[in-house]
Structure 1
Amino acid sequence: MIIPAFDFLEGKAVRLYQGNYLDKKFYNIDLYQHLKDLKKQGVKIIHLVDLNGAKKAENRQIKLFQNIISYTKIPIQIGGGIRTENDINTLFKLGFERVVIGSSAITNKFEVKRWLKVYGSNKIVLALDINIMNNKKKISINGWVKETNYTLEDAIDYFSSEHLQHVLCTDISKDGTLSGPNITLYKEIVKKFKHIQFQASGGVSNLSDIISLKQTGVNSIIIGRSLLEKRFTIKEALECWQNE
């Protein structure tokens, strides 16, 4: 499916270039109308990122997200600095459908494995952000500033024993660039991990990118900047996905 994405910083929709807070672009959108249109077009789920919360949990944009939850019936998955069980409980109580766990999947992997068991694998998405070097898919954490020795394959293998279901995989070199997605990457991981529902993220700039990604077998495509900049409409994207 197509998953429209919105990143929020200081209450405003924004896109970062390759995760860099210093290289950002704000978008002046009527979010209420935007979400109304997405619902009308048949969008099944939305992806939100709390960039303030990602930097500091105390700065989570709770008020903003309460408003969003109050005026849309579309299920929402949310990420950004989710590090504790209290964070998860807070977001589920607000009404979010799924939480997206990033850095903690590496820094606190035993606890994250327990969360998969406690909340159920359908409620947690692992966000595994990678840099590919010498054919190794190295995971980066903490807003992509710290590279780890863990690979994408290591993480999926580890969490699969607790029935891991959803993985949002981003090729960092593609994020926010509109340079086209890493088709080779998604072909490879879909083939290797047939039990995972992959969400592809990064680089989508036109409808042909959607066709190419659908052909890899990924379950979903997260699209942010292209929709915000009206390179194509959500209606076109959904039709493209359904018709391919």
Structure 2
Amino acid sequence: MLIPALDLINGQVVRLQQGDFERQTTYANDPLPIAKAYASAGAKWLHVVDLDGARDPARRQTTTLKRLAEALPMSLQVGGGIRQKSDLEELFQCGVKRVVIGSLAVQNPALVSAWLQDYGSDAIVISIDVSIADDGQAYVATHGWQQTSELTLEQVIERFLPDGLRHVLCTDISRDGMLGGYNVELYDNLKRHYPELLIQASGGAAQLSDLRQLRRINCDSAILGKALLTEQFTLEEAFQCWQNA
């Protein structure tokens, strides 16, 4: 599955290079026309990052999210600043189908475990951002990529497997927004070790050959953000490539 992505600040479509708010590019004042074009191209899901909510949950862009959910034939998965149960409930009430949990999975795993059990494995995506060490080990980054924990990618995943974990979104932060291609080895290792999981690859798509590489290793989904906004290729071309790879 190909999942187009939109990052939002104050209702505008933006991109940050490697999560840095000082390196922001604004692409559109209104996300709806772009999202509708993605739906027309065949997308079934839209990945939305609420960057305002990530910085301050009180500033969550609920009006924009509800507008997207009501106007689009796609399902939404949304992340950004999920810290407590009321944040989840607020997003579900906006019409969001899947909530993306990031740093909280490291900071309060017991709470996230309870949510997986309460809401079901299809309602929650665990988003794991990693920094690759010199020895090749993937360590989990938190706090908007400002901190790297001592936990490995595998340790976080295995913490939630008994709770029914199904959806994992994994980003190599050195690749995000850089248009340098996916870390294919990272996703290949994940699919080999955890074939029961549905893996969403994120960070680095620059050309159609990047998608072919993901398909060859049986990666389940690819998040497409900057590549679409900067017209490296169209979503229609991406779907054609994904289906034929």
Please give the alpha-carbon distance, in whole angstroms, between the structure 2 residues aligned to 1:62 and 1:29: 16
Distance in 2 separating the partners of 1:13 and 1:149: 33
CA–CA separation in structure 2 for the residues paired with 1:78 and 1:28: 19
| Residue deviations 1:86-121 (CA, integer Å, cap 9, x gap) | 000110011101000000000010010010000000
Could you tell me which residue of structure 1 aligns to residue 150 of structure 2? 149
Within a 5 Å distance, the mapping from 1:83-232 to structure 2 comes to: 83-133=83-133, 134-232=135-233
- Give, in whole Å, the separation in 2 of the partners of 1:160 and 1:85: 21
Which residue is equivalent to 1:31?
31
Distance in 2 (alpha carbons) for counterparts of 1:179 and 1:212: 13
Question: How many Å separate the matches in 1 of 2:94 and 2:175?
Answer: 32
Specify the code of the residue in structure 1 equivalent to 2:129.
Answer: D
Q: CA deviation at 1:30?
A: 5.1
Structure 1 CA distance, aligned partners of 2:194 and 2:23?
34
Query: Cα 1:66–1:128, aligned 2, differ >3 Å: closer, same or farther?
Result: same
1:7 maps to which residue? 7
Q: Which moved more, 1:24-33 or 1:134-143?
A: 24-33
Between the aligned partners of 2:30 and 2:10, the Cα distance in structure 1 is: 16
- Aligned-partner SS, 2:8: strand
1:35 shift after superposition: 2.3
| Distance across 2 between alignment mates of 1:178 and 1:222 | 13
Q: TM-score, normalised by structure 1?
A: 0.98
Q: Tell me the CA shift for residue 9 of structure 1.
A: 1.0
Which residue is 1:240 aligned to? 241
Cα distance between partner residues in 2 of 1:142 and 1:60: 17
Question: SS of 2:89's equivalent?
Answer: helix
Written as runs of structure 1 = structure 2, the 5 A alignment for 1:54-69 is 54-69=54-69
DSSP 3-state at the match of 2:23: strand
Runs of 4+ deviating beyond 6 Å: none
CA distance in 2, matches of 1:135, 1:206: 25
C-alpha contact 2:45 2:77 (8 A) present in aligned 1: yes
Q: Aligned partners of 1:45, 1:27: CA distance in 2, in Å?
A: 20
Deviation at 1:24, TM superposition (A): 1.1
1:49 positional shift: 0.2
Q: Letter of the aligned partner of 1:17 in structure 2? A: Q
Deviations 1:72-96 (Å, cap 9, x if unpaired)? Answer: 1210100001111100011001110
Q: How many Å separate the matches in 2 of 1:127 and 1:175?
A: 14
Distance in 2 (alpha carbons) for counterparts of 1:243 and 1:29: 34
Please give the alpha-carbon distance, in whole angstroms, between the structure 2 residues aligned to 1:189 and 1:69: 31
Letter in 2 for 1:86: S
Partner in structure 2 of residue 20 of structure 1:
20
Q: Gaps (5+ residues) in structure 2?
A: none
Distance 1:84 1:30, change over 3 A: closer
Deviations 1:196-234 (A, max 9, x none): 100000010000001011112111000100001111111
Amino acid in structure 1 at the alignment position of 2:25: K
- Calculate the aligned-residue CA RMSD, in Å: 1.0
**What is the deviation of 1:68?**
1.3
Counterpart Cα distance in 2 of 1:86 and 1:200: 28
Shift of 1:166: 0.3
